[in-house]
Chain A
Amino acid sequence: MSAAAIPSCQIIEAHAPTLISNILTLAWRELRDALRARSFLLYSLAFLALGLGVSYVSAAGTGSLGLSGFGRTTAGLINIVLLVVPLMALTTGASAIASDRERGMLLFLLAQPVSRLEVVLGKFLGLSGALIACITLGLGACSLVLAWQGGATEPRTMLWLAGLSVLLALSMLSVGMLISALARKASVAVGTGVFLWLALVFVTDLGLMAGTLALRLPVKTLFLLTLSNPLQAFKMWALHSIDASIDVLGPAGLYAMDTYHDALPWMFGASMAAWIVLPLVAAALIFRTRSPV
C-alpha cells in the first residue's frame, strides 16, 4: 500500500498533476486525518459496542434454544446500523469541506495544483475508506462474537449486511458533503448533518406513520415513499438478502413482492445509488462556485 502512495506524492512534488493520482493523494490524507480524529474513534467504539451487545444478547436468546437461520440477529444489527452509520457518515461528510474552509486549509489546498473536482472526489474517497474501516471492524467483531456464541447467523448474511452498510454510509457521506459544500462554518454544517440524521431516522418515519393512519395511504404509495428514504431502502434490501422476501414487512412488503418480484433488489439498489451519486454531483457543482474562505 505504501508503494502505491509514494509515486502519487512524487507527482505532486514534480508539479505534474493527473486526476487519479491527485485524487488518491488527497484521499490518503483525508483517510489518515479521519482515522486520527477523536469523533471517529468514538463512533467506531459506539458502533462496536452496540453491535456486540446485540450479537451477544440475541445469540444468548435464540442461540441457546438451537434456533437459527430466522435472521433475528441480523434484524437487530440492521437496527444498530440504521442508528449509527448515518450519523457517523453525515457528520463526517458535513465537516469534510466546511472545517477545512474555516481553518483556511482549503485556501492552502486549492493553491496546490489540484482541481476542485479532485478535492471533492479525494475527500469522498478518503472518508469512504475510513467509514468502510469502521463498518467492517464493527460487523467483523460481531461475526466473531456470533461464531463464538454458537453461529446463529449465516456468513453470507453478515457479508451482505456489511456491503449494504457501506452503501448506506456512502449515500449519507455524499449527503454530508453536499451540506459541507453549502455551509460556511463547520459547526453549522455538522449541526445540519445531525438535524438531517434526525429527519431521516425518525421524522420521516413518524411522518409516514401519521400519514398512513390519518390519510389511509394506499400500500403502493406507502411502499414507494418508504423506498425513497435511503435508510429504509437499505433496511428492505438487507431483509430481502436474508431470505429473498420482505413479506415480514406486512401488507406493503407483500404488495412489493407480488408486484415487483425480482426487480425489487434493483429498486433498492437504484434508490441507494441515486442517494450516493446525486448529492455528490451537487456537492461538486456547488463547491466549484464557492469561495475557499
Chain B
Amino acid sequence: MNANRSNLAPRVAILAVSCLVGLCPTTASAQDSMQAPNEKSAGVHDSAGVEINAGTIGRLIKAAKPGDIVHVPAGVYREHIRIDKPLSLIAEGRVVIDGMSSGDIVEIAAPNVTLRGFVVRDTGIDLDKENAAIRVLADHTVIENNTLEDILFGIDLKQAPDAVVRGNFIGGKDLDIARRGDGLRLWRSDRVLIENNTIHDGRDAILWYSQNVTVRNNTSRRCRYGFHLMYSDDVVMENNELTHNSVGIYLMYSKVVTIRGNRLLANRGPSGYGIGLKEADQFSISDNLIAGNRAGIYLDGSPFTKLKPGDISRNTIACNDVGLTFLPSVKGNVIAANNFVDNIEQVCVSGRGELTGNDFAADERGNFWTDYAGYDANADGIGDFAHESVTLFENLLDREPKLRILLFSPAQQAIEFVGRAIPAIRPEPKFFDPSPLTRPVPVATNAGAAPSRLSLAICGLGLASIASLVYVSSRAFAHTTRRKGVVA
C-alpha cells in the first residue's frame, strides 16, 4: 500500500501530458467562453506555463480593490486565477472555473480572501507539481460551498492558518490510487476549521504540522486515508463519517487528539483500519461507531509517553474482522465501556503476546463482549467472572494470518473445543477484563437503514414454499401410484 511511489511509466506519461498542455496556453485561453479579448501583456504564468488571470474572472480580480466583494456571473470560465488581494469572490448561480487539465486552478496568495459557491474542475495530473484545484498561501481564508470535480489535489493549504474550509464537495480524478492527489491538505496551517465537507475518490485528507485544527461533520469515502494526521497536535475530530476508505483516521506522531462521535465503516483492504494510531500520544477515542473494518482500531506504539493513558471508551466496535489490533509492545491504554460486538476476532495481538500493560476496565467497569460466556447473578450489570480471551484458533491466527482462509469452517470450532478441553495446550489469556458488562453500553449507532423486513419475509416464504412444493408433489405421486397399483 505504498501509494507514494509511482513507477516510472506513469510519471513519464504525466510529464508528457503536462508538456503538451504547457505548449498551448494561448489556445486554451482563446477558448474562454466569455470571449474576452486576451491581454497579451499579462506576464504571469503558473508552473505549467499557463497564463494566469487572463480571463474574465482574472480581469474582475485585477479591477477590484482590496476588501471588495466580487460577484461572478454564471457561466463556464476556462482560466486559471490568482487572488492577490483581500477579496470576497462569490459565485452567482453556477459558475464553473475549468482548468482544462493543466496546472493549478485557483491560487489564493493574499490574506482574508473568501471563495464561495464555485465549481472548480479539471486540474492537471502532475503529482510532482501537486496540481491543485484551490491552493491557499495566506491566512484567514474562507473556502465555502465549492464543488471540486475531476481534480488531482483538492484544497491545499500551505502555511495558511486560521482558515475555514466548509461545505465543499471534493471529488478526485478517476486514477489509480498511486496517481491520485490529496483531496484536502494542510501544511503548517494552525487553527483551521474543516467542517461539512465531502471528499471522495481522493488519496488522503492530510494534516501536516498543523495544530489546533477542528475537523467535524465531514464525509470521506473511497479514499486512501479518510483523515491522516502527521505531527499535528491538539486536533478535535468529531461526527465525521468515513467509509470505504483504506483507513478511516490515521494518527501518526500526533498528540492531544480527540476522536469523538465519528462513524468509521467498512474501511478495508490490506491495511484497512477504522482508526490507526502510530506513536500517537494523549489521545482520546470515544463514542465512535467502528464497524465492518478490517481492523477496528490499530495501535502501534501508542500512547507514546506515560503522560496520559490512551483513552478508548464508549465506542461500539462491531463486525470488524478484528476489533482491536495491538502490536505486542503497546501499553498504557485504558479500554473501558466499549461494546465489542461480533468482531470475528475481538482483540488481536499481532505476532502474539499479552496485553498486560493495558487496562480493560476503569472504575470497576469493563466492556461489553458478545463472546462473554459468564453470568450476572446479582444483576448489577457486571459479569460475575472476568472475561479472558483464551482461544486457541485466534492464537494460531495471530501467529499465522494466512490461516484466516479457514475462518467460519467447523474445523475452527473443533480447534477451539480442543483448546478449552485440554489444559496442556490451552493458551495464555491474551487480555483480561475483570468486570465485563453484561448489557451493551447504550449508544446511538444506527449503521444505516436495515434492509426491508418485508422482502426478507417474502424471501423466506418463497424458500419455504419450494420445500412444501416438493413435499406436496411427492405425496401426490404416492397417491397416484397407490391408485394405479404400481408397486415401484
Q: Which of B339, B456, B480, B481 has the most CB of A within 10 A?
A: B456
Q: Assess whether A115 is interfacial by the CB under 8 Å rule.
A: no
Least CB distance from B192 to A in Å reads 33
B446, B463, B477: which contacts A139 (Cβ < 8 A)? B463
Least CB distance from A63 to B in Å reads 8
Report Cα–Cα, A13/B483, bound state, in Å. 13
Q: A62-B342, A151-B456, A155-B459 are in contact. Are A9 and B480 (CB under 8 A)?
A: yes
B467 touching A201, Cβ below 8 Å: no
Chain A positions within 8 Å of B454 at CB level = 147
**How many A-B contacts at CB < 8 Å in the complex?**
251
B341, B402, B466, B474: which contacts A136 (Cβ < 8 A)? B466
Chain A positions within 8 Å of B9 at CB level = none
Q: Assess whether B294 is interfacial by the CB under 8 Å rule.
A: yes
Least CB distance from A4 to B in Å reads 8
Least CB distance from A234 to B in Å reads 10
Report Cα–Cα, A142/B464, bound state, in Å. 10
B456 touching A147, Cβ below 8 Å: yes
Q: Which residue of A lies closest to B270 (CB)?
A: A254
Q: Assess whether B183 is interfacial by the CB under 8 Å rule.
A: no
B457 touching A143, Cβ below 8 Å: yes
Q: Assess whether B376 is interfacial by the CB under 8 Å rule.
A: no
Least CB distance from B373 to A in Å reads 13
B480 touching A162, Cβ below 8 Å: no
Tell me what chain A mostly uses at the interface: helix, strand, loop, or mixed.
helix
Q: Assess whether B41 is interfacial by the CB under 8 Å rule.
A: no
Report Cα–Cα, A279/B407, bound state, in Å. 27
A248 touching B407, Cβ below 8 Å: yes
Classify chain B's interface size. 35 or more
Report Cα–Cα, A109/B488, bound state, in Å. 8
Q: Assess whether A112 is interfacial by the CB under 8 Å rule.
A: yes
Q: Assess whether A266 is interfacial by the CB under 8 Å rule.
A: no
Q: Assess whether A277 is interfacial by the CB under 8 Å rule.
A: no
Report Cα–Cα, A219/B408, bound state, in Å. 18
A151 touching B451, Cβ below 8 Å: yes
Q: Assess whether B34 is interfacial by the CB under 8 Å rule.
A: no
Least CB distance from A19 to B in Å reads 16
Q: Mark A132-173, 1 if CB is under 8 A from B, else 0.
A: 111011011111101110111111001100100000000000
Chain A positions within 8 Å of B294 at CB level = 247
A2 touching B456, Cβ below 8 Å: no
Q: A70-B292, A250-B404, A250-B405 are in contact. Are A133 and B445 (CB under 8 A)?
A: no
Report Cα–Cα, A147/B455, bound state, in Å. 8
Report Cα–Cα, A72/B371, bound state, in Å. 14
Q: Assess whether B291 is interfacial by the CB under 8 Å rule.
A: yes
Tell me what chain B mostly uses at the interface: helix, strand, loop, or mixed.
helix
Chain A positions within 8 Å of B463 at CB level = 136-137, 139-140, 143, 158-159, 162
A150 touching B450, Cβ below 8 Å: yes
Q: Mark A102-117, 1 if CB is under 8 A from B, else 0.
A: 0000000100100000
Chain B positions within 8 Å of A9 at CB level = 480-481, 484, 486
Q: A67-B447, A70-B291 are in contact. Are A143 and B406 (CB under 8 A)?
A: no
Q: Which of A66, A139, A150, A217 has the most CB of B within 10 A?
A: A66
B403 touching A250, Cβ below 8 Å: yes
B402 touching A219, Cβ below 8 Å: yes
Give the interface segment out of A174-182, A184-192, A206-214, A268-276: A206-214
A6, A58, A247: which contacts B269 (Cβ < 8 A)? A247
Q: Assess whether A12 is interfacial by the CB under 8 Å rule.
A: yes
Q: Mark B326-346, 1 if CB is under 8 A from A, else 0.
A: 000000000000010110100
Q: Assess whether A241 is interfacial by the CB under 8 Å rule.
A: no
Chain A positions within 8 Å of B466 at CB level = 132-133, 136, 140
Q: Assess whether B452 is interfacial by the CB under 8 Å rule.
A: yes
Q: Which residue of B lies closest to A245 (CB)?
A: B268
B268, B440, B469: which contacts A247 (Cβ < 8 A)? B268
Q: A65-B316, A250-B404 are in contact. Are A213 and B450 (CB under 8 A)?
A: no
Chain A positions within 8 Å of B401 at CB level = 250-251
A142 touching B460, Cβ below 8 Å: yes
B474 touching A28, Cβ below 8 Å: yes
B269 touching A151, Cβ below 8 Å: no
Name 9 A/B residue pairs within 8 A (Cβ), A-sorted. Answer: A12-B488, A70-B291, A151-B456, A153-B456, A155-B458, A209-B411, A217-B402, A245-B268, A251-B402
Closest 10 CB pairs of A and B: A250-B404, A143-B460, A140-B463, A140-B464, A205-B411, A1-B473, A151-B453, A2-B476, A137-B467, A70-B319
What residues of chain A have their CB less than 8 Å away from a CB belonging to chain B?
1-2, 5-6, 9-10, 12-13, 25-26, 28-29, 31-32, 35, 58, 61-62, 64-70, 72, 75, 78-79, 82-83, 109, 112, 129-130, 132-134, 136-137, 139-144, 146-148, 150-155, 158-159, 162, 201-202, 205-206, 208-209, 212-213, 217, 219, 222-223, 226, 231-232, 235, 239, 245, 247-254
